[in-house]
Structure 1
Amino acid sequence: MKLSTREDIEAPIAYVYGRVSDFAGFERRALRQGIQVKRRSDTAPEVGTIWDIAFDFRGRARKVQAELTTLEVDQAIVVESQSDGLIAYTEIELIALSATRTRLIASFDLKAKTLTARLLLQSLKLAKTKLTKRFKARVLDYAETVEDDYRRGQ
């Protein structure tokens, strides 16, 4: 099951890339929301960097292992995550539309490896319209935040 959306941001591609590749910022945000995040290396994130993520969802402890598989400066970021028979690919692609305008294309693709995961994925497919709407709203909110921060000079 794949969810995708695109948003145009009034900011240069280098600024937008700096924001979408701020892995330390995403780690802090997750910790504030009660999600346990541990990067396996102490170095700056690069291709091959792995995070161990643990959180409670629907009354059950979940564990996810996320690996940075693609990191192309000012172009793309791909993270592959695995948990309980599910594999998720999160891809962020950036395209410079002009010197001060960037298109962000975000996609999230889920694949099942086990029967239990297939059942979960099937139930998610039934709610795909609602999930797509929520995904688009989150990406739009993030794009507006990046745009506002750029205008304020942060």
Structure 2
Amino acid sequence: MEFRAREDIEAPLDHVFREISDFPAFERAIMRRGGDVAVLPGPVPPERGARWEVRFRFRGKDRRIEAMLDKLDPAQGMSIAFESPNIKGDCVVDLVPLSPSRTRLNIVVSVKPVSIAAKLVAQSLRFGKHRMTRRFKTMVTTYAEDVEARYRATA
């Protein structure tokens, strides 16, 4: 299953990159939503190979996902791979400079079920994919608006 979103942000590429690579802010956001985040031993963010363990409750069950920073390039964006006992996937964030003060944010999240149980859940989720895609795009739009607002506040 794949989710895509594209937003144009009224901020320069370097500012948008600093925002998307602010890993402590994302960790705090996960904790505010009831999750638990731990940086695993090894390279520390924002180094390539940095890993996190994220624990959260979803659909009445405790879940655990391990994420790893695959790519972090100030001129292009980043890529994070994630896996759990039931799913594998990745999140690719591409940044495209449209002008010196405008950046396009492209996000693609791919999720692949691994276990039989996850495949059954994924099959049922396909019926609601349109609604989930709309929610995903809304979240990306809100994030892009927040990045713009923070840029305007500092400029």
TM-score range, shorter chain: over 0.9
Residue 7 and residue 78 in structure 1: after superposition, are their counterparts in 2 closer, same or farther (change >3 A)?
A: same
Kept in 2, the 8 Å contact 1:4–1:107? The answer is yes
Q: CA deviation at 1:101?
A: 0.3
Instruction: Tell me which stretches of 4 or more aligned residues in structure 1 moved more than 3 Å.
Output: 41-44
Kept in 1, the 8 Å contact 2:23–2:46? The answer is yes
1:76-124 CA distances to partner (integer Å, 9 max, x unpaired)? 2111111232112111100000000000001111112221111111111
Could you tell which deviates more after superposition, 66-75 or 5-14?
66-75
Q: Aligned partners of 2:130 and 2:45: how far apart in 1?
A: 37
- Equivalent in the alignment of 1:56: 57
1:7-33 CA distances to partner (integer Å, 9 max, x unpaired)? 000000000000001001111121122
Kept in 2, the 8 Å contact 1:86–1:114? The answer is yes
Task: Indicate the percent of aligned positions where both proteins have the same amino acid.
Answer: 38
Q: Aligned partners of 2:61 and 2:85: how far apart in 1?
A: 12
Secondary structure of 1:47's counterpart equals coil
Count of matched residue pairs: 154
1:38-77 counterparts in 2 under 5 A? 38-41=38-41, 43-77=44-78
Amino acid at match of 1:149: R
Kept in 2, the 8 Å contact 1:96–1:102? The answer is yes
Give the TM-score, by structure 2 length.
0.94
1:13-55 CA distances to partner (integer Å, 9 max, x unpaired)? 0000000010011111211222110001473321111101111
Consecutive unaligned residues in structure 1, runs of 5 or more: none
- Equivalent in the alignment of 1:113: 114
